[in-house]
Amino acid sequence: MKQIIHIASRELSTFFDSLTAYVLIVIFLGFSGFFTWVYGADIFFVGQANLNTFFMVAYWSLFIFIPALTMKSIAGELKAGTLELLLTKPVSDWQLILGKFLSTLLLIVIALAPTVIYYFTLWAIGPVDHSAILLGYVGLLLMSMVYISIGLLTSCIASNPIIASLTALSIGIFFHIIFDVLAANFVGFLGSFFSYMSLSTHFESISRGVVDTKDLIYFLSIVFFCLFTSKMILSNRNL
């Protein structure tokens, strides 16, 4: 655990020492704030004390934002030739993968943290359903976990960060859009299967304020599968 935290904190520090993290967070917050408060179906236009608009904006922007964050995690090390150096340290493959995963997840938490002001503002001007909002954030974090794990997997497979990012985005498109479209095109078992595979089905279920074990198992299964495969790829590279 100590090694995982150490790797995560080093990674996080590297993120914040470069301009990338700031640019991405500023773009994310800019988009979220603009569409939640200023323009379009913003909170005052809708007139309801909920953060549905924000969750929808964040749902889309995180999907694009995360592959850009994860692309360098392993592929960057491979390109710079630092991975071998890192693996000579007393760090297991699992610890490395989990450390990288945790650092990106913490970055997402940091990116989401300033949006807590939205919640307090809303609380001051309307009867907020606190649990539904809290679970909306939980839904965003679970969705982020899925995309981070996919990003890590593609970063392990590809040696070039750009290719890793594009591959992660392509896989993400399946969970984000294509399964939804397929679900709308098929009926019966296949329709239900694609609907179950679609991330939006499970995200919507959680963000309405209901915790369902099948949603949690769906999210955690993808995360586990991607991290496990990443670890296997990394281990095979070592041998």
Partner 1 sequence: MAKRKNLIYTSIVVAGILIILNFISSIFFFRADFTEDKRYTLDRSTKRILREVELPIIMTLYVSENLPPDVNRTVQDLKNLLTEYNNYSKRKIDFEFVNPNANEEFEQEAIEAGINPVPLEVREKDQIKVQRVFLGMSIQVGDKSEIIPLIKPGIVMEYTLSTLIKRLTIKDKPKIGYITGHGEPSLDKLGQAMTELSVLYDVEPIHLLAEPNLSDYKSLLLIGPMATISGSQLRRLDAYLAEGGNLFIAIERVNGMLNDGIGVTVNTGLEVWLQTKGLYVDDSFIVDKKCGTVTVQQQGYFSYPQQINFPFLPVVSKFADHTITDGIETVVFQFASPISFTGDSTLNYQPLAFTSDISGKLSAPISFNIGRVWRAQDFLHPNLTVAAAISGNMGGEKEARICIVGDGNFIVNGYGASKIAIQRDNINFLANAVDWLSDDTGLMSLRTKGVSSRPLSEITDGRVFFLKYLNFLLPLVSVIAYGLFRFERRRSKRTKRMKPGFIK
Q: Residues interacting with partner 1, by CB under 8 A?
A: 16-17, 22, 25-26, 29-30, 33-34, 36-38, 42-44, 47-50, 114-115, 117-118, 121, 125-132, 134-135, 183-188, 191-192, 194-196, 201, 208-214, 217-218, 221, 224-225, 228-229, 232-233, 236, 239
Single out the residue of 147, 171, 165, 152 nearest to residue 63, CA to CA: 147
Q: How far is the CB of 209 from partner 1 (least distance, A)?
A: 4
Q: How far is the CB of 214 from partner 1 (least distance, A)?
A: 4
The sign of the torsion formed by the CA atoms of 117, 144, 199, 160 equals positive
Q: How far is the CB of 233 from partner 1 (least distance, A)?
A: 7
Pairwise CA distance, residues 52 & 108, whole Å = 19
Q: How far is the CB of 228 from partner 1 (least distance, A)?
A: 6
Q: Is the CB of 160 or the CB of 229 nearer to partner 1?
A: 229
Q: Is the CB of 90 or the CB of 188 nearer to partner 1?
A: 188
Q: How far is the CB of 127 from partner 1 (least distance, A)?
A: 5
Q: Is the CB of 117 or the CB of 162 nearer to partner 1?
A: 117
Residue type, 57: V
Q: Is the CB of 26 or the CB of 80 nearer to partner 1?
A: 26
Q: Residue 109 is encoded by which pair of tokens?
A: 């938490």
Pairwise CA distance, residues 166 & 75, whole Å = 12
92 neighbors 57 (Cβ within 8 angstroms): no
Q: Residue 129 is encoded by which pair of tokens?
A: 């359903």
Q: Is the CB of 3 or the CB of 20 nearer to partner 1?
A: 20
164 neighbors 75 (Cβ within 8 angstroms): yes
Residue type, 182: L
